[in-house]
Each structure stands twice: as structure tokens, then as C-alpha cells.
Amino acid sequence: MGIVVKKFGGTSVANAEKILRACKRVIEEVDAGNQVVVVASARGKQTDQLVADAYELNPNPPAREMDQLLSTGEIQTVSLFAMALEAAGYKAISFTGGQIKMITDSDHSRARIKSIDSLHIHNHLAKGYIVLVAGFQGIDEKGNITTLGRGGSDTSAVALAAALEADECEIFTDVDGIYTTDPRIFKQAAKMEMISYDEMLEMASLGAGVMHGRAVEFGKKYNVKIHVRSSIEETKGTIITHEVPQMEDIVVSGATIQKDMAKISLIGVDNKPGNAAKLFSHLAGAKVVINDIIQTEVDAEKANVSFTIGMSDFNDAVEAVESIKDELGCERVFTRKDIAEVSAVGVGMRSHYGIAERMFGALSKAKVNVDSITTSEIRISCVVDENQAEKALEAVCLAFELDKPADQRSK
């Protein structure tokens, strides 16, 4: 008998019909002889409605009260889920994050998990219960309800799977797995059977919305096998796991596109130790999230520093830069709000050469102008004009045959 954690997203439990369909998945697992823990999100657009209600009453709602409010959506879902399972003849019990002692820090709306008391869940599993846990939430050490932020239910599920030493953590969504790129943009995108934690982390950070990075980080740290699959179809989805030898045979596993981005360049900054630290410490103080950084030396006295950000941080970033530019000896600040970032990701980059040549050759052939380039060990990203972003993504996908399953691509 193994333990399986099954997480159902908001669209998978949006109404009674969908909850009953999710119950069927759980019952099949129990009938196969496994113990099951279910993690569920708030139904449909319920969280959005709660946020709207809050802002209608208070344009600046206290963070603690927002967490208290938003946690109720998931609690409703798991209670209804448990009722449906009981009606089908199965023992089921639901818990809040606080009841299973999912302890977090006190950073409301984006708390991080510190510990989970798995004994309470193990005890109920041993008594034959299906255990349902409200996702997205925990409590801090003072007993205040906290929420985990974007992708919080995924994070709850993988963290529970780690604490319980589960055999697998299944993430049920309205898509049937992880694709080589966004199939809404590149319609020929192929579904991946397997992807490494590192590749998924890169793709998540670059805009792929199927899995949130924090959940993947938990999986990697605690060796949790994550299976992203459809809540509607019975097909196998995509496994997120540690690298296996055949992964290195695939040069590029996937490609991403990030829109709604901006680039800020500080031209002619004094080229001396400590200036970069001052700049990015100042931006961190303004809670600006930085994507990529490029610094180039102009001469012994001056350097140029550029960084990319999401458009939501643009005004805060500009204000922060303007307030510190004189201290950095900056000659002028240049900004762009018409950019996107296209990236190719693959652990095979570590052992293959010619990837940059192939990628930029494809972009050149498509007549896409590249503004700037950044790389990591398993990623190449380039900033392009936003109006050329989708053309650039298609060129990259075709260059690396991302319209084919991995075993059908040329080596």
C-alpha cells in the first residue's frame, strides 16, 4: 500500500459535477489499494470574487484579514469533497492547513512553509480515511492564518507529499500535461512525457504557467515525483523528476515566451566595486522582482547596467532607479516597455555545442531583431520586440523540432 497525493485545481472542482468527477479519480486510487491525500483549491473564480468583495469594502485591506478571508475558499472545497466521498460510501475527513499544523512564516499573502506535522494525517490514513487538506494555506507560530501566494495549492500538495514520503504527487489541471511550449501560441507543440526539475524551474520562471516554481523546488529538494495530468481525460500526463541519462540526448526540451516586460538600462555608471550591490539592494527594497541582468564595461571608468522586469514592477523600478542614479554616477537612464523574452531550455545544452548558432540562425532567418541575450547552464534567452515575440517563438520551436515528441527529433 502506497500513499498518493492528488491535487485538484480550481477549474477541476468548479461545480458539483466536477467534484464528483474528481471523487471518481480518488475512489479508483483507493480501490487500487493506496492511501490517498487530496489537496484542493478554491472552486472556479471564487478567490477572485473574494478579492473583489474585499476591495469594494476597503481599498487597502489588512494583509492578515485578506489571508483569513481567502483561506475560506479552499476550506469550502475540501468540505464539499469530503461530503461527496462519504455519500459514495468512503470514509473521508477534511482539514484546514492549521489543523494539520502546516507551519509557515508570518509573511501574509506569500508565506513560506517551515514544517508540517505529518503524524495527524498518517493516523487518519491508518484508520482508513481519505484525507482532504485545504491548499494554499497554513498558520504561523502565533496561530494566524497565512496564505502561500501564487501557486500555493501546488506548493501545499508537493510539500505534503514530501512530508508523508508519498509515492507520487499528482497535479490535476485542465490541460493533459506539460508541452514543449504554449500550445495556444504554437499549435504544433508536443506534450512531454518527462521533464527535469531544473528544466521545469527554468520554464516556470520564464512564464510557463502549468506549475509554479516553488512547488517544483520542493519536489527537487525532497525528491517528490510530480505527475501533471488532465482532470478530464484518463491519459498519462508529464512526469517532473530528477534528470535521467536520456534527457541529455535532447538538446532543447522546451521554449517559453514572456510578454508584458520592460527593460531599464543605466548608461555610464561609475565602474567601481559596490555600485551594482547598491543598485540591486535599492531595487530589492522597493520589492522589484528582477528577471535578467546584463552589465558591460564601457571603459575603465564607466559601465552600462541593464535589467528586465515585469511591467507590473515598472513604475516602482523607475522610481527606485531615479532616486539612486546620481549616487551611482549614472549619466542617463533608458527604458523600454515594448519587449518580450523568448527562451530555449534544456539540460542537453550542457553536453551539446552549436545551440546558440542554431537558435540565432533561426531568428535571423525569421528576420527577428535581438535586443539582448542572457544565458544559464541550461537556458538561452533573448529580448525581442514585443510585436515579433510570437514569430520568434515559432522560429525557435521549429529550429529545435519542438513540434515532435522527444524520441522523434534528430540528434
Q: Which amino acid is at 129?
A: Y
Tell me the three cell numbers of residue 266: 543605466
Confidence at residue 245, expressed as pLDDT on a 0 to 100 scale:
67
Mean pLDDT within 171-194: 92
Alpha helices in 294-384 (DSSP H): 314-324, 355-365
Contact (Cβ atoms closer than 8 angstroms) between residue 180 and residue 253? yes
Cα distance between residue 139 and residue 160, in whole Å? 15
Q: Which residue has the higher pLDDT, 251 or 288?
A: 288
Each residue of 303-340: pLDDT tens digit? Answer: 999 999 999 999 999 999 999 999 999 999 999 999 99
Contact (Cβ atoms closer than 8 angstroms) between residue 93 and residue 128? no
Each residue of 391-406: pLDDT tens digit? Answer: 999 999 999 999 998 8
Residues sharing a CB contact under 8 Å with residue 62, sequence separation 6 or more, in sequence order: none
Longest dimension (CA), the chain: 76
3-state DSSP percent of the chain in helix, strand and coil, to 5:
40, 30, 35
Q: Which domains does the chain have, with CATH numbers?
A: 3-174 (3.40.1160.10), 255-403 (3.30.2130.10)
Each residue of 360-402: pLDDT tens digit? Answer: 999 999 999 999 999 888 999 999 999 999 999 999 999 999 9
Identify the bridge partners of residue 145 per DSSP, sorted by sequence position.
139
Confidence at residue 206, expressed as pLDDT on a 0 to 100 scale:
83
Confidence at residue 353, expressed as pLDDT on a 0 to 100 scale:
83
Confidence at residue 411, expressed as pLDDT on a 0 to 100 scale:
64
Rg, Å, the chain Cα set: 23
Predicted confidence band of residue 231 (pLDDT cuts 50, 70, 90): confident
Mean pLDDT of the chain: 93
Dihedral of CA atoms 180, 182, 183, 187 in degrees, nearest 10, equals: -90
Cα distance between residue 374 and residue 383, in whole Å? 9
